[in-house]
Structure 1
Amino acid sequence: MTLDYPLDDSALIQRAHNIRLLALDVDGVMTDGRLHFQSDDQESKTFNTQDGLGIKLLRQTGIQVAIITGRESSMVTRRAEALGIEHVIQGRDDKFEALQSLLAQLNMELQQVAYCGDDLPDLSAIKHAGLGISVPNAPLYIREHADWVTERPGGHGAVRDICDSLLAWQGHWPAIFDTYLHGKG
C-alpha cells in the first residue's frame, strides 16, 4: 500500500502539511501542452483521467483545487465542472497576482497553497507558494526554482503524482487506499 514516488524529504513533507489549496496551470501541467485546432477552428485538449481522480480525492479530504490559466477555453470550464473545481481563473498571464487575489477571497496565506506550473507566467507563483511544483517538461530555468519536480510530465500523470503525494504526506492515503481495497470507493 505504499506509493512509489512521494519524496522522502522531511522539509518538503513538513511544508505539505500546511497545504489547503492546490492551484494548477492547465497547458503543460493538466495537459501535455499541445493544442489541437480543427478545420472549423475548434480547439481540443486531452486531460488525464488519473489526474482527475486524484483531484477528486484531494477535494474529498478538504483540500481545495483551483485552475489558473493564461488561455480561455470552454474545455477547461467543462473539465473543471466535471471535477467539481470551483475556482477557475482563465485568461490571466499574471498568475501570481491571480493567485494572490484568490487567496484573499479564500482567506488563505501563501504557505497554504501548492502551485504547479511549467513556464514563465508561472514562475513567480511557483517561487512564492508554500510548495512550488513544476513538471519535467518545463524548461530547466523553471524547474530549478521549484521545491519539487514531479516524476511524470504534464498531461501524463503529473497532477496525480501531486495529489497522491499530498494525500500521503498529510496522512490521508491509508484510509483512501483501504476504502478502494475493500470495494467501498
Structure 2
Amino acid sequence: MNNMDPKTAARQIKLMGFDVDGTLTDGGLYFGADGEVMKRFSVLDGQGLRLLIDHGVKVVWITARSSAIVEKRARDLGIYQLVQGCKTKLQVFDDIRQSLALSWEECGFFGDDWPDYPVIKHVGLAATTTHSPECMKAVANWTNQRPVGNGAVRELCDFILSCKPDYKNPWECD
C-alpha cells in the first residue's frame, strides 16, 4: 500500500503517467463496419491534461494497445510522450522518469488494470479507478469518483493542481 498522503504526493508531481483504455476512455472498443476501432475521449479530460501541461507537469500516456486515434489525440493535446503497444509499462515509465532525473515521489500514474499495477506500486501518487481490481485499490492513494472516459482524468488533474501551492484556478468564483 502506498502510505503517502495523496495531497502531499500531488504537490510533488512533475511527471504524470496515464494508461489510456479504462482511464482516458470508458474502456470500450467501438468497431465500425470496416473493422476500425473508435474511442471516445472527453473534452473535460483533455482540458484537465492541458492545465497540467501548462502548469509544467510532463504528461505521458503508456498503453498496451496501438491506435492512430490515440496518437492523434495525444498530439492534439501536446502530450510529452506516447508509448503504444507497451507490455512492460514499469520499464518504460522508469526510463522516462530517469531521463527527466526525477524521483519516484515526483511521479504519478493513473491506471486501471494489471499492466498498470507495477507502476502504481512505485509512484508517489498512485491513482486508480473504482472498477480496478482490489489489489490495485489497496496500493493506490487516490481513486476517482467521476466516470472514466467522462471526467475522471479531469478530476485527477484538478486534484493535483489544487495541491500545488502556486496554482490559482483561473475559473475560481469570487
Quote the Cα distance in structure 1 between the aligned partners of 2:7 and 2:63. Answer: 27
Contact in 2 for aligned 1:135/1:152 (Cα 8 Å): no
Match of 1:68 among 42, 45, 62: 62
Quote the Cα distance in structure 2 between the aligned partners of 1:109 and 1:173. Answer: 22
TM-score normalised by structure 1 residue count: 0.87
Name the structure 2 match of 1:26. 20
5+ long unaligned stretches in structure 2: none
Name the structure 2 match of 1:55. 49
Match of 1:164 among 151, 158, 164: 158
Deviations 1:67-119 (A, max 9, x none): 00000111111000111112101111211111001112222221111100000
One-letter amino acid matched to 1:151 = Q
5+ long unaligned stretches in structure 1: 1-9
CA-based RMSD of the aligned residues comes to 1.7
Give the total of aligned pairs: 171
Which structure exhibits the higher relative contact order, with contacts defined as CA atoms closer than 8 Å and separated by 6 or more residues? 2
SS at match of 1:108: coil
Cα distance, 1:175 vs structure 2: 4.2
Match of 2:116 among 115, 122, 132: 122
Name the structure 1 match of 2:74. 80
Match of 1:132 among 107, 118, 126: 126
**1:89 and 2:83 aligned:** yes
TM-score normalised by structure 2 residue count: 0.92
One-letter amino acid matched to 1:92 = C
Cα distance, 1:173 vs structure 2: 4.6
